[in-house]
């Protein structure tokens, strides 16, 4: 190698002695070319750095909370935010969950509009979930204490709603006491109490959709855990949410039922939450009133996921679906996550009342829908679970448990058995020792 370099230098010196002007031209050309290359590199680097400064960052602050992964999880290498069959939006509160869900639903194309609700008003946020249904398609974001939090501002900048014919050219719908951003065309939706605000939202939805609702969903304004599953269905169907108390029905709810007299009314929750006395008041104003639900928030959510009557209800009684899992102690998460139930893998909101282990009703329902295959797993159907909240809402251990329940499993046909275990609620089989 050294010998070749020496020969090259000797030839170069000989050429310089014999052709000095040509040598200078060659050297000058090489110098100019190198300068041009260096200039292009510097300019390109500056442009890229400018783009990086201007482009809003969607994922880091929205989807992942720094420090939310426990040390034992990091040591095991367990994927806290995504597993084989689950994806987590790890918000420490509903403000972060709403921003994450909105960006997950609209990762590139902007939504026509957004809904802004106050983080302290779970009833207003729940009722506003209906504004995500077609044709409005407005995901919900939260304000707090009369201001737009930084994470909501980041999400607004990234989403950049433009308005559309379906939104009346409005870019944001401001619900109740929510803060109003200065740089968007907005419409204020007001009401003196939860029932009046819900009626105003339902009226706006009907005007934007250009049609009356076919169904009305009445939920408790006093028991948020029982009302939470309504948000997912409203976002998916466009059926408005209305409110009642245990033994009484507000005038605004009666007004809605009488206004849309042809709509079927469904009451979500057991008799302990909305009594038969309240149902009788609804029946005097409605053509049809039916109850859906069971005792216990977890059981109530499962009953609603299974329910179907005509075109009303999820009717999720077989594998191959999406699900959203939230903690019953965080009611505003239901509205925040509603867009996930009405796009992508579409599916009902299910609840857990424990952050550490799956309650029996939730585990039993998901086991009942556990997907299986006989020969080729690539031709099977699959379940997908959105996990809502950080470790305080759904722990890594519970996420792992839910992932295992949702995992595809081999089954045997023709033998009356499978590898999926007994039917949920079935007694344990007796052994020979018994």
- DSSP-derived secondary structure for 126-172: HHHGGGGSTTT---EEEEBTTB--HHHHHHHHHH-----GGGTT-SE
| Crossing angle between the packed helical segments 150-159 and 94-105, to the nearest 10 degrees | 10
Q: Is residue 37 part of a domain?
A: no
CA distance linking residue 271 with residue 318, whole number of Å: 28
Q: Among candidates 177, 83, 51, 33, which has minimal Cα distance to 397?
A: 83
Q: Is residue 422 part of a domain?
A: no
pLDDT tens across 200-215, in order? Answer: 999 999 999 999 999 9
Task: With H, G, I as helix, E, B as strand and everything else as coil, classify residue 218.
Answer: strand
Residues 6+ apart with CB under 8 A from 297: 225, 226, 228, 328, 351, 353
pLDDT tens across 147-162, in order? Answer: 999 999 999 999 999 9
**Cα 384 to Cα 28, 125, 136, 219, 339, distances in angstroms:** 64, 25, 26, 27, 15
pLDDT tens across 230-287, in order? Answer: 999 999 999 999 999 999 999 999 999 999 999 999 999 999 999 999 999 999 999 8
Q: For residue 335, what pLDDT is reported?
A: 98
CA distance linking residue 153 with residue 170, whole number of Å: 18
Task: With H, G, I as helix, E, B as strand and everything else as coil, classify residue 116.
Answer: strand
The per-residue pLDDT of the chain, averaged, comes to: 84
Q: Is residue 416 part of a domain?
A: no
Share of the chain residues as helix, strand and coil, in percent rounded to the nearest 5: 45, 15, 40
β-bridge mates for residue 215, sequence order: 264
CA distance linking residue 270 with residue 254, whole number of Å: 20
Q: How many domains does the chain fold into?
A: 1
Q: For residue 413, what pLDDT is reported?
A: 61
Q: Which helix (H) or strand (E) holds 265?
A: strand 264-268
DSSP class of residue 295 equals S
Q: Is residue 365 part of a domain?
A: yes
CB 198 within 8 A of CB 241: yes
Q: For residue 275, what pLDDT is reported?
A: 97
β-bridge mates for residue 26, sequence order: none
| pLDDT bracket for residue 412 (50, 70, 90) | confident
Domain span at 243: 67-410
Higher-confidence residue: 426 or 370?
370
Q: Determine the average pLDDT of the residues in 415-434.
A: 44
Q: Among candidates 223, 232, 227, which has minimal Cα distance to 242?
A: 227
CA distance linking residue 238 with residue 215, whole number of Å: 9
Q: Is residue 310 part of a domain?
A: yes
């Amino acid at each position: 190698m050294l010998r070749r370099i020496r020969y090259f230098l000797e030839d170069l010196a000989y050429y310089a002695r014999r052709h000095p002007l040509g040598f200078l031209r060659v050297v000058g050309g090489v110098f100019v070319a190198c300068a041009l290359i260096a200039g292009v590199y510097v300019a390109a680097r500056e442009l890229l750095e400018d783009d990086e400064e201007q482009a809003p960052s969607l994922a880091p602050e929205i989807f992942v909370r720094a420090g939310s992964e426990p040390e034992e999880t990091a040591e095991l290498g367990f994927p806290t935010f995504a597993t084989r069959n689950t994806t987590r939006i790890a918000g420490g509160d509903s403000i972060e969950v709403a921003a994450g869900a909105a960006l997950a639903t609209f990762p590139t194309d902007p939504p026509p509009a957004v809904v802004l609700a106050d983080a302290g008003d779970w009833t207003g946020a729940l009722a506003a979930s209906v504004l995500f249904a077609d044709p409005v398609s407005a995901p919900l974001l939260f304000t707090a204490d009369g201001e737009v939090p930084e994470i909501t501002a980041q999400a607004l900048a990234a989403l950049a709603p433009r308005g559309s014919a379906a939104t009346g050219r409005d870019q944001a719908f401001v619900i109740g006491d929510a803060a109003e951003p200065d740089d968007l065309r907005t419409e204020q939706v007001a009401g003196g109490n939860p029932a009046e605000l819900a009626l105003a939202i339902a009226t706006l939805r009907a005007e934007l959709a250009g049609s009356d609702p076919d169904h009305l969903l009445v939920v408790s304004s006093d028991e948020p855990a029982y009302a939470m599953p309504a948000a997912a269905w409203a976002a998916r169907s466009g059926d408005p949410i209305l409110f009642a108390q245990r033994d009484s029905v507000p005038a605004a709810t009666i007004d809605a039922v009488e206004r849309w007299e042809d709509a079927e009314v469904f009451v979500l929750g057991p008799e302990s939450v909305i009594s038969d006395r309240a149902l009788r008041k609804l029946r005097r104003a409605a053509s049809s009133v039916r109850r859906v639900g069971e005792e216990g928030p977890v059981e109530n959510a499962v009953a609603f996921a299974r329910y179907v009557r005509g075109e009303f209800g999820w009717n999720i009684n077989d594998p191959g679906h999406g699900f959203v899992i939230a903690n019953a102690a965080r009611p505003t998460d239901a509205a925040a996550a509603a867009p996930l139930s009405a796009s992508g893998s579409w599916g009902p909101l299910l609840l857990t009342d424990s952050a550490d282990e799956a309650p029996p009703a939730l585990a039993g329902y998901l086991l009942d829908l556990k997907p299986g295959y006989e020969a080729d797993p690539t031709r099977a159907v699959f379940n997908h679970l959105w996990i809502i909240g950080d470790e305080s809402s759904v722990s890594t251990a519970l996420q792992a448990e839910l992932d295992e329940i949702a995992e595809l499993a081999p089954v045997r046909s023709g033998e009356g058995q499978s590898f999926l275990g007994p039917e949920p609620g079935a007694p344990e089989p007796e052994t020979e020792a018994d």
